[in-house]
Structure formats: C-alpha cells, structure tokens
Amino acid sequence: MSDDPTIEAPEVEESEDAYSLGRKAVAQILFSVDRDDREELVALMEPLHPADIADLLEQINAFDRMRLIKLYDKEFDGDILSELDESIREEVIGLLSPEVLADAVRDLESDDVVDLLEDLEQGQQDAILDALEDSDRVAVQQSLTYPEYSAGRLMQREVVMAPEHWNVGEAIDYLRNSDYLPDQFYHIVLVDPRLRPVGNVTLGKLMGSRREVMLQSLVEDTFHVIPVAQYEGEVAYAFNQYHLISAPVVDENERLVGVITIDDAMAVLDEEHEEDVLRLAGVDSESSLSDRVRETTKRRFPWLLVNLITSILASLVIAQFENAIATIVALAVLMPIVASMGGNAGTQSLTVAVRALATKDLTGSNVWRVIRREVIVGLINGIAFAVIMGIVGYVWFGSLALGGVIAAAMVINLVVAGLAGTAIPIVLEKLGIDPALASGAFVTTVTDVVGFFAFLGLAVLVLL
C-alpha cells in the first residue's frame, strides 16, 4: 500500500443490479419465448449461471415459466434444479420431460440429488431415482434413510480417501488413474484399516510436496469428524466456528460414509439466518415470493391472530384508565409514544439475544452479564429520552407534571424492554420453544402492557 497522501483510494461502488438479471435481459428472454424462438432463447440463456436461471424462473409468473421450460427443453441443466427455491422446484420438475429430467440429475452430486428428492411426491422421486445409475441410486436411497435435517442428508457420498500409510506419490497416482472424481473436493481423507477417518490432507499440500513424503506428515491441525445423525444446524456452526472447508461424516461405528463441504454447510447457515429473521417478524420460514395468495394468507393469519390477542390485552389495560383519559385528553395523545419506544427498544434487545443464541455466543457463563448490559442500556436511553419527552410534554401541553409523568414512564418502559427483550428468548429456549418464533409476541405484549400501565398509572397518581 502506498504511503503517498496525494494518492486517493478508489471509492467503493455499490450497484443494485450487481450479480442480478437486469430488466432488459429478462425482457429479451421472455420476448424470445413469445416468438417461440428456441435458438435465440438458448443463445440468451447460455452465458447465464444456473443460479441466475433459477432466479429468472422464480421471478416470472407460472405461465411464462411453463412456456420457457418447454421451449428450453433438453438444454435444462441439473444445477438449475439444485438452485431453485423449494416452493417451485416440484412444479418445474413436473414440467420437464422424463428424458430431460434424467439427463439433468445424472450429473449432480449425491447430496444435490437428495436435496431434490426430499420434498417431492413419491411419483417424482421414483422418476428421478430411475434415471440414476444403480450405484448412485443405492447411495441416494441410503442417504434418504437418515433423519431429515441431519448430516446424513447433507453429506455427499463421493469421497476421495487414501490409506494412512500412503505417500504423496501413491496418492497422486491414485487420483490420476481414478475413473471418477467429484467435480469439487478440497481434501483427501486419510483412513485407517477399519475405514475410520484419521486426518485431512489439502490438495495444495499434496501437490506442493515431493512424492516420497508421507501423507501422515501433511495432515491439517484442525480436524473434525461429523456424526451422521448430527443436526445440520450444528454442522454449519462447526464449519463457521472452526473455519472448515470440508469434514468427513461417520456412521455409528465411526466408519467413513461421506463428506460435507463448505458450500452445503454455508447454505444451511444462510437458511438458519433467514428462518430467524422471518420468524422474528411472525412469518412462516417456508414462505417465498413464489407462494400463491391463499398459501401466504394461511401462513400469516395465525401470527396476526396472536398479535390481535396481545393487542386486546393491552387495550384491557387502557380500559382500566378510561376515566383518566377522558379527563386529561393529552394522555391519549402521548400514550402511543411510550408504548412505541418500549416496543422498538425491546425488539433491538430481542434481535441481539436471538442472534446470540443461534450462534451460541449467549451461554450460561455470560447470560447475566448480557442481561445486565441490556438493562443498563435501557436505563441510559430511558433517561435520555425522558429528558426529551419531559420537555416536549411541558412545551406542548404547558404542564410540568405531565412532562414528569411521561419522562418517568419512558424510563420504566425502556428498562423493562431491555430486560424482556433479553430474558424472554433465553427462557423460551430453556423451555424448548424456538425463541425466534415466539419471543416477538411476548416482548411486544410486555412492553405495551408495562408502558400503558406505567404512564396511565402515574398520571392517575400525579395528575388526578
């Protein structure tokens, strides 16, 4: 890096269209479909990555999707299927001819085939399995016997392994003479005579060493073995925590049965993050932009109903002070401010707590420190906004007492918001309830009820 102060660093450029299909490209593709011009469609689709084609199929409507797939026909690639959102994958598979479907799945790794099959009807599963070679079919069927969301479902059966007593030359000769190697692999897994993994050797170290060097001397310092029944979320956490690139999977006898690579682990981590965000908003984790109106309505209705019930509870608190509100109209004007500030502060603490629980950063050893921090933050923010709202209340309504009431209520509600936003998800997790799914409704109820009760209660005591 240059130390010359006259040389300015280039500015970071951010584009909304980076790595996404532009409207012009989509319009050109749909125009070729409208004209039934297969040659032009293939030419337009050829430079696109399978992920971009999957995005295109997800963005257009069902009618255009059907016409495009029928016209694209035998050019359809299996990688497109693995990139598709689950909400339309079954629909797309149903539009493919048996021949095209067979060609599409033959080139996929076993883990991608398992991912395709998991959510399909039995008839479509059979069609895909029939398209596979016997050895691949057996491997996929065995993977499907493992529990859903387990490492056994996530792993690929294609593993590059070598005996632990080999040297570099023997390993290289084996790789060169092998009839089949996975499209992507990062390690050679060393195994003992009982087929138990004992270490990983990276391809970089293998190719950079002399032929006579023993593989045992090249194994990585960090080596983790994944049990086949382990929950995929814990697998993704291990990859992220220990910076793994790939890890061998073992059965109950500690024998090597597969390998998980970083792309699959990060996909799981991304799904976990997405689920947490959706659940915090009370949206079903299976929701997608491709869902129909009826499906979307059905999934959101229960959580809106829960919100309605909690709102009624808050309204019951307000109803206890209806005489005070009728006497001092200003209370009705200022009341939503207290509840809103408490709700926002609670959501901030809640989001931090849920995320920390998901990443295992919030544990029994630091739980009280985190709760204390959030309460103190709530207290400091409460005092700051109490001063602001005290002044606003006095200037707006000409009442020093009213300003003091809303100031005190602000402090109380923000402290409670910090406590509830942190403590509620922790308690729910201890009870075995998903904190991302259920915390929001409880925190909102607590901050609304406490906010209204504190503000109106203090108003009755001080102003009446």
CATH of the domain at 401: 1.10.357.20
**Is the CA virtual torsion 181, 182, 186, 189 positive or negative?**
negative
Amino acid at 364: G
Whether residue 13 is contained in a domain is answered as no
* 248 and 308 within one domain: no
Amino acid at 347: T
d(CA 444, CA 201): 52
Whether residue 427 is contained in a domain is answered as yes
DSSP E strands in 238-349: the ranges are 246-250, 256-261
* 399 and 320 within one domain: yes
* 447 and 350 within one domain: yes
Q: Residue 227 contacts by C-beta under 8 Å, 6 or more apart in sequence?
A: 151, 249, 250, 252
d(CA 359, CA 241): 9
* 359 and 458 within one domain: yes
Q: Which helix (H) or strand (E) holds 58?
A: helix 50-59
Domain count, the chain: 3
* pLDDT in the model for residue 1: 47
* 66 and 193 within one domain: no
* 299 and 445 within one domain: yes
Q: How far is CA 449 from CA 268, 320, 410, in A?
A: 38, 12, 13
* 198 and 93 within one domain: no
* 165 and 140 within one domain: no
Q: Which helix (H) or strand (E) holds 163?
A: strand 161-163
- pLDDT by residue for the chain (464 residues), tens only, comes to 455 555 565 665 555 555 667 788 889 999 999 999 999 999 999 999 998 999 899 888 889 999 999 999 888 888 898 888 877 888 888 888 888 888 888 778 888 888 888 777 787 788 788 878 887 888 888 888 898 889 999 998 889 999 999 999 999 999 999 888 887 889 999 999 999 999 999 999 999 999 999 999 999 998 999 999 999 989 998 998 899 999 999 999 999 999 999 988 988 888 777 666 666 555 555 555 556 677 777 766 776 777 788 778 888 888 888 888 888 888 888 888 888 888 889 888 988 888 888 777 888 888 899 899 999 999 999 999 989 988 888 888 888 888 888 899 999 999 999 999 999 989 988 888 878 767 777 888 888 888 888 888 888 888 87
Whether residue 272 is contained in a domain is answered as no
Nearest CA to 152 out of 226, 225, 228 is that of 228
* pLDDT in the model for residue 287: 52
Amino acid at 351: T
* 136 and 53 within one domain: yes
> Which structural domain, as residue segments, surrounds residue 32?
23-145
Whether residue 151 is contained in a domain is answered as no
Q: b/e map of 282-319 (b: 16 or more CB within 10 Å)?
A: bebbebeebbeeeeeeebeeebeebeeebeeebeebbe
| DSSP per-residue string spanning 192-251 | -TTS-EEEEEEHHHHHTS-TTSBGGGG--S----EETTSBHHHHHHHHHHHT-SEEEEE-
Asked whether 149 and 232 are in contact (CB, 8 A), the reply is yes
Amino acid at 18: A
Question: Looking at the chain, how many residues does it have?
Answer: 464
Q: Which of 145, 177, 195 is the last residue of a domain?
A: 145
* pLDDT in the model for residue 6: 58
* pLDDT in the model for residue 226: 96
Helix, strand or coil for residue 418?
Answer: helix
Nearest CA to 187 out of 110, 262, 266 is that of 262
* 455 and 306 within one domain: yes
What is the end-to-end Cα distance of the chain in Å, rounded? Answer: 70
CATH of the domain at 57: 1.25.60.10
* pLDDT in the model for residue 288: 54
Q: Where are the alpha helices (DSSP H) in 132-189?
A: 134-144, 151-154, 168-177
User: Does the model's pTM come out above 0.85?
Assistant: no
CB atoms within 10 A of CB 385: 21
Whether residue 288 is contained in a domain is answered as no
* pLDDT in the model for residue 190: 96
Q: Which of 116, 145, 174 is the last residue of a domain?
A: 145
Q: Residue 69 contacts by C-beta under 8 Å, 6 or more apart in sequence?
A: 57, 76, 92, 95, 96
* 196 and 91 within one domain: no
Q: Residue 178 contacts by C-beta under 8 Å, 6 or more apart in sequence?
A: none
Q: b/e map of 145-155 (b: 16 or more CB within 10 Å)?
A: ebeeebbbbbb
Whether residue 218 is contained in a domain is answered as yes
CATH of the domain at 193: 3.10.580.10
* 305 and 169 within one domain: no
Nearest CA to 303 out of 444, 188, 109, 204 is that of 444
Helix, strand or coil for residue 150?
Answer: strand
Q: Which of 145, 177, 192 is the last residue of a domain?
A: 145
